Homo-oligomer: A and B are copies of this chain.
């Protein structure tokens, strides 16, 4: 199940979070719960792109958190290290040089694995929400 060959924990799956205390605000604020990763992979599955373009697409994605450019560029470089994308510099006629990222077959496989995780995550959310609504219907 681990795509990188360095697993140690029994079952891995979800992750986390903030806790809304300390220096950043909002409920569950400040962290992406790793959704930036699958979103980037999805966009790259749909079409090769450079970082700035991906940031713009994500901004219009209906996310209720802002996407830090830093985070996007960092994930892209990491994906390349891991073999999930390849990149090469594009010297355009206009504007600064940019790095075009293309997804690899491994990257597509990685995204598929991510989808399985997201499906489980969604089921868990459904379960918590249903049970939470029950708790408020009955008691109080």
Contact = CB atoms under 8 A, between A and B. Distances in A.
Interface residues of A, number: 77
B31 A9 contact: no
B132 A111 contact: yes
Contacts of A46: 131, 135, 139
A38 B68 CA distance: 25
Nearest to A2: B25
19 contacts: A1-B26, A4-B20, A8-B25, A11-B64, A12-B20, A12-B65, A13-B27, A13-B64, A14-B33, A14-B64, A15-B31, A16-B31, A16-B36, A19-B75, A31-B34, A42-B131, A64-B120, A118-B129, A122-B125
